[in-house]
Chains A and B, each alone.
Chain A
Amino acid sequence: MRKPMLFSTLLLTLALLCGCGSMHPTLRSNSSQLPQVVATTGIIADLAGQIAGDNAQVHTLLPEGADPHSYQPTPAAARLLANADLVLVHGAGLDVWVDPLLSATTNSADICLVTQGLTALQSDEDGVDPHFWLDPNLVITYVRNIASALTAIDPEHSDAYQTRAEQQIQELTELHNWILATVANLPVAQRNLVTNHDSFRYFATRYDFNIVGTVIPGFHVEAEPSAQQLAALSQVVHSKKVKAIFTETTVNPRLAEMISTQAGQPVKILRLYTGSLSEKGGEADSYIKMIRYNVKTIVDGLL
C-alpha cells in the first residue's frame, strides 16, 4: 500500500500549495515597466508594433505560419494574456478561439476590437467575411483603433502614438496608390482570381478584380469542397483561361494542384500570404511588404 500513500501525500501537498498560491501576491516577472500588449495574429502585432514603437511591448499569440482558424493554446499564451494590459482582438469570426481563453485569464486588461467600425460583407450561408486586411484602406481603421487603445492604457505617450499612427496611415495611403498603379497594367478581362479560400473579396471590390472561384468554399479553411464543387471550379478555370491559381502559405496546396491538373491547361500555382506574415527576414515579414508581395505575385501571375 505504499504507492497510494505516496501519491496522497503529493495530493495534499499540492492542495496546500494551491491554497498558498491563491493568497500569494502576484509574482509576475515583468522585465520592464512598459505596458504589455498582446495581439492575436502576427499581422495585428506588426501594425501595433509600428504604432507602439519603444513605448510598449507587443507580443503575438499565434506563432508564425500557424492558421488562425485552428490553433491550440498553450500555457505560455495563457500567461501572456494574464500579464497583458491590452489585448488586441481581430473579431469578425477570425479569432473565436481567444474568447474562452480571455475570460479565463484576464480580468483587468483592456480589450480592443481592431475591426471596430468596419462593415463586414455578409452572406447567408458563409456568414461574416473577416478578411478586411487584404485591403489597405480598411487597415486604416485598424490603425486608428489600435492607436486609441494604446492611448487609453498609456495616456502619457498619446502624442507619440498619434504621430506614429498618422505616419502609418500615410504609408497605407501610399501603398494603396501603388497598388492602383500596378494593377492598371493588368487588363480587366484578365483580373480573374482563383484563390484557396474566399479571402479576397474586399481586395477584389476595391481593385476591380473578379473572384472566379475558390478551392475551398467560404471564408473558413476547415470547410471541405465537395467533388461537385471541385469539378465546377476546374470547368471555370478552363473556360475563362485562368492562368494562375493562388494558394496560401497557411493552407496545404494539394487541392489547388488537383484543380490545375483537372483543368487540362497549364496553370501556375502561386503562393500568397493571407493569414500570416513570413518569418523575420522573409519576403513578407511586415504588413506592407506582405501586401506588396501579394499584389506583385497576382499581377505577374495573371499577366
Chain B
Amino acid sequence: MTAVLRAQGLGKRYRRRWALTDCTLDIPTGRVVGLVGPNGAGKSTLLNLAVGTLTPTSGTIEVLGGRPASGAAQLAKVGYVAQDTPTYAGLSIADHLRLGAHLNPGWDGALAQTRIQQLGLDPGQRAGKLSGGQRAQLALTLGVAKRPELLILDEPVASLDPLARREFLQDLMQAVAEQELSVVLSSHLVSDVDRACDYLIVLVESRVQVCGDIETLLATHFRLSGPRRDPTTLPADQQVITASHTDRQSTLLVRTEAPILDPAWTVSELTLEDLVLAYMSRPTAADRNVRPVLEVQR
C-alpha cells in the first residue's frame, strides 16, 4: 500500500452538473503532484473530495489508505490549505499557532515558531493586516506544523506576486525535503508549479486528460512535423493528442513509448507547458465524434 491517493470511477455532481466525471487515479507517496487545469475544470472539487469536505456522487476515493475525513486519525494525516489561503483576520499570528496546537494532536510548535521567526513576522500582528504573501506563508506554516503525511493546497500561489510566489514555493520545497511530505497542489498555470512538481494531473471539463510522472510524460510525448499526412495512417502505437495541418504540412503531437523511426518527420521534444496546453486544447470526446480528423484534400 503505497498510494497517497487512489480514486476509482470517482464522480461528483452538483444538481444537474457533473463537476468531476469518471476519475481514476493512483498516485504514489512521496511525490509533489501538480493538479493543473483551467478555472472551473473540477480541481477544487477533486481536492475537496480528497480532504473529505465533499462526498462522492459516484465511485470511491481513498487517501493514504483511508476514507477521507473518516475519523481523527485520518484527519491528522491530511493537511489542507484552501483556495486564497484563508486565515482568521481578527486573530493574531500567535492566536493562529495556539489554535493549531489545540486542534492538531501532532502539532509541531517548535517548527511553527521557527518558521514565523524566519519569515520575520510579528506574532502579535493580526492576520487581517498581513500582505497576501505573508498570509499564504502563515497558512503554509499551519499546514506544515500540523505534520501531515499529505499536504493539499488549492491554488496556493495564484494570487501572489512573483517574489512571494517564489518564496512560498521555496519554503514548500524545503518542507518536502525535510519532512518526507507528499503534496498535491492545484494551479491553473503549469509554469507556476512545473519545477516544484514531479507528478502531473491535467483536468479539463471535469475529466482527467492525462496523469503521470512528469519525466515519463516528457519522455513519451513528441512533436512531429513533416509533409501533410492523415494521422490515421500512423503506426498503432502512436496516439495523436493534437493535429494541425496546412495544405502541405502536418504538425502532430503524439504520445508513444516506442522510438519514432519514420524519416519524414522532424521530431522535437516538448516542454511541460507545451504538453499541458496540448491536452487542454484537445477537442473533447463529443467534438471529436462530429469533426473529421482530416478533411479530404481536393
Verify that A and B bind, or say they do not. no
